[in-house]
Structure 1
Amino acid sequence: MTAAAPEPGFVLLVNAKPEKGFDLIAQVAATLRHIPFVSIASQSDATEARELVRRLGATNVRIIEKTTDMASLYRAARMVAVPSYRFVETFSRVCIEAQRYGKPVIGSDVGNVPYLLAESGIVLPESVELWAQEIARLYGDAAYYGERCRLAAENSERYSQAAQREDILRIVETQTDAMLVCVGSGIGNMLHAGPMIRNIARTLGRRVDLLVAEDHGTSLFLLQNDRFVNSVYSLRNYALRRRYDTIFVTHCFGTASLPFHARRVVFSRDWDGFHPGHALHEALFNLEAAKVLLGIPYDPATAAADYYVGNYAYQRPNGGLVGFHGGSKSGFWTSKRWPHFPALGGRLRDAGYSVASFGTPAEYVEGTLDHTGGTIEEMVRGMLQCDAFISNDSGVMNIANALGIPVVGIFGPTNWETRGPLSAHGRSVSLSSECSPCEVKNSKHFLAGGCTCIDRLDLETVWAAVQGLLAEVERVHVPLKLVVSR
């Protein structure tokens, strides 16, 4: 370095180029003048960077010239910023380098950065306010900072030379005794297969391939996970060329007859047929089918709640945001839509929470922040900012459950016992009446769209469940027991 080394305890940005996010960090620094920032003009003109911080009055930002002693900077930094929004990182070596020194990393929500940080770092949209809040918290909350340091060091081990060797060996292993699991077609069906998929991969010690008869063209990422899944194929473009040792066709794949190439093809329906009134929840049904037909054991006490959503990992943000999904599929499925979301939003705002709608634009709840629209993956990233989630029985509810977001699922005509959230953070609210759930006890009436029972699920009942969930989450950061209000 051309000058004395910075004093320890700063926020480090390795590259002072605007496309690497320096302009964002400079604005953040201008709002946090008590926190030191350091950026390296390694690939850009230091004069331009210094001029920007001068215009912003960010006297707490120090620009240093290119250095070969990155180790000293990583050790001295309190945290590292990777705000690459305009430059899309294909890997971002800085994330893992910083974490090897036990430093928390805050990164952008684009490119490969969110995948690298899924289980350890903090991923944020391009917002000066959110970045400033997170940096301030890492400075002001010692327990939170310590936990982030621990997660950073833990994540760096996943990218060690030994771990990379293991990944290569797993790729080689999948070429022998390969297994394909066929699932589909709705989002809920896909996610309820997740605990089974994870359990199969863990038991066999190798990743599996998936074939999905998907309803939504952008949903395959929900089941792609680097630790458990090799490849995810859509039924629409799947080439039946590869030979598998075993193909397991789950109940939700349907009755499609395909010319599979495998030593054995096992159909879940040959053991039992799943239906809304089944004695087992769908996730448990899938696990039990794999146990009976494939000999894959599981722990009933824990495996059914072992969901996943892609490579995403949920960490409660403590930002006071509650998400809503007030919609459902069209047709007779509209009978699942609870009509009192606007009033519930008012109760939450009065209690000091922000409330946002997720889903399609048509599913926006009046009076809430509008986070509707976009792809399913964009929605998932937005949902990660929620401290809790309230939803009709829907695919979005199942995403919240699979992510581990504290969730209240609202059930009228459908059966919470086979479809409700099973995560440790999940609750179901449903009616208690002789005719419910309608899809089980009077399916013809339900399929004709005649069920109106969800209108009788009053605001006070749901509000009590929401209050209970929020109170328990605020009181202790431990998993919640499944509590059903009927």
Structure 2
Amino acid sequence: MKALIVAPSWIGDTVLAQPLFMRLHERTPGLQLDALAPRWVAPVLERMAEISRIIDSPFAHGELSLRSRHRLARQLARDDYQRVYVLPNSIKSALVPFFANIPERIAFVGEKRYGLINRRHTLDKALLPQMAERFAQLAEAPGTPLPRPLPLPRLTCSGEQRAATLAALGVDRPEKLAIFCPGAEYGPAKRWPARHFATLADALTQRGYAVWLVGSAKDREIAEQIVSQVQTAPPPRNFCGSTSLSQAIDLLGAASFVVCNDSGLMHVAAALGRPLVAVYGSSSPGFTPPLSAQATIISLNLECSPCFKRECPLGHLDCLNQLHPQRVLDACLARAAA
């Protein structure tokens, strides 16, 4: 059996899809499971034992490019896939499998994709409140209850990979290492303030921890704000924008514990099995929690949250501004001692 995954376009969503991949292998021993994925999430799929091959999906967000999709579909048609699981809900994501004439095209109805998907699931949000559950449901027959509990995501990160990344970056692993992931692609309403991260960094440095900041180039500005507000030497090392995603995975794998906003790297840290403190503001841990027994979720649960907005609609961002560093510090120290 050869099957194809049309992968999500977000790092965190890709991690949350791994329980589906595990279930598919349980259902079909010897399955070859390939993934059609944007290149920016490919490094995550490369760390999943369930994925045999990654095929580059060259399309930008919102890009139609019918001619290019036809050309890619002709290439996929030669691979004789029997099934495809389309994880995004858009019409565009279902076009290539349809053009490739893959016999079983499995997905939720999504954007009214009745002609493109031929094994259709209808989403019941009450029965499947979590994103990972919705992905995993695709391994079942439509209308069949989802078996629980789900397997937890599990990314590989070997000692050799970590050592190679540390050598490439010219750093040694400290004995006690706290990694902060201060970014959140979705928007500022998911980002704990820089001053709070700085206060936390001071407290951890005073307790003998080295603090490293990890993220994309878009996170460099907030990381620089954190470094500029830290009072205790040595200041944090800012790796935001200085690593590939694969190297960021290796750095997270080396951490004593990780402090994250609700972000893709939060899900990566959870899937690496690292002790994790996850800070939630405008989003909900009920929908996309870190799937790990070693994660502590911190949220103030205000009346106005979760609002799921990119920026605070009330202008105060109390859900994060009022979440004080001492509470996060206590959670970090508890995780470190566990």
CA gap of 1:207–1:353, structure 2 versus 1, over 3 A, is same
CA distance in 1, matches of 2:49, 2:327: 40
CA distance in 2, matches of 1:455, 1:336: 11
Q: How does 1:215-294 map to 2 (within 5 A)?
A: 217-224=39-46, 227-236=49-58, 238=72, 239-241=75-77, 242-250=79-87, 252=88, 254-256=90-92, 257-258=95-96, 259-269=99-109, 270-273=120-123, 279-293=128-142
1:31 corresponds to which residue?
none
1:308 corresponds to which residue?
154
Residue 417 (str. 1) matches residue 286 (str. 2): yes
CA contact (8 A) 1:268 1:293 kept: no
Deviations 1:260-302 (A, max 9, x none): 3222211223424487x9852211221123224497x975235
Letter aligned with residue 284 of structure 1: E
Q: How does 1:108-257 map to 2 (within 5 A)?
A: 177-205=1-29, 206-212=31-37, 214=38, 217-224=39-46, 227-236=49-58, 238=72, 239-241=75-77, 242-250=79-87, 252=88, 254-256=90-92, 257=95
CA distance in 1, matches of 2:183, 2:258: 13
Count of residues in Structure 1 that have an aligned counterpart in Structure 2 = 279
How far did 1:319 drift?
2.3
1:459 corresponds to which residue?
325
SS in 1 for 2:211: strand
CA contact (8 A) 1:389 1:405 kept: yes
CA contact (8 A) 2:133 2:150 kept: no
1:336 corresponds to which residue?
190
Letter aligned with residue 329 of structure 2: W
* Percent identity over paired residues: 21
How far did 1:314 drift?
7.8
More helix by share: 1
CA distance in 1, matches of 2:4, 2:325: 45
CA contact (8 A) 2:4 2:35 kept: yes
Report the TM-score, using the length of structure 2 for normalisation.
0.74
Structure of higher RCO (CA pairs closer than 8 Å, 6+ residues apart): 2
How far did 1:199 drift?
2.1
CA distance in 2, matches of 1:268, 1:406: 34
Q: How does 1:60-75 map to 2 (within 5 A)?
A: none
CA gap of 1:357–1:435, structure 2 versus 1, over 3 A, is same
Letter aligned with residue 205 of structure 2: R
How far did 1:247 drift?
1.2
Unaligned runs of 5+ in 1: 1-176, 440-445, 473-486
Letter aligned with residue 300 of structure 1: R
Q: How does 1:355-394 map to 2 (within 5 A)?
A: 355-360=211-216, 361-364=220-223, 365-366=226-227, 367-372=235-240, 373-394=242-263
CA distance in 2, matches of 1:294, 1:225: 31
CA distance in 1, matches of 2:256, 2:301: 28
How far did 1:463 drift?
2.1
How far did 1:430 drift?
0.8
CA distance in 1, matches of 2:51, 2:325: 42
Query: Superposition RMSD on alpha carbons, in Å?
Result: 2.8
Q: Structure 2 residue aligned with 1:323, among 179, 182, 188? A: 179
CA gap of 1:342–1:184, structure 2 versus 1, over 3 A, is same
Select the structure of larger CA radius of gyration.
Answer: 1
SS in 1 for 2:248: helix
How far did 1:318 drift?
8.5
2:112 corresponds to which residue?
none
CA contact (8 A) 1:318 1:387 kept: no
CA contact (8 A) 1:335 1:413 kept: yes
CA contact (8 A) 2:191 2:320 kept: yes
CA distance in 2, matches of 1:266, 1:376: 29
Unaligned runs of 5+ in 2: 60-71, 110-119, 163-172, 228-234
How far did 1:193 drift?
0.4
Letter aligned with residue 51 of structure 2: V
Q: How does 1:30-109 map to 2 (within 5 A)?
A: none
Report the TM-score, using the length of structure 1 for normalisation.
0.53
Letter aligned with residue 461 of structure 1: R
CA distance in 2, matches of 1:402, 1:199: 16
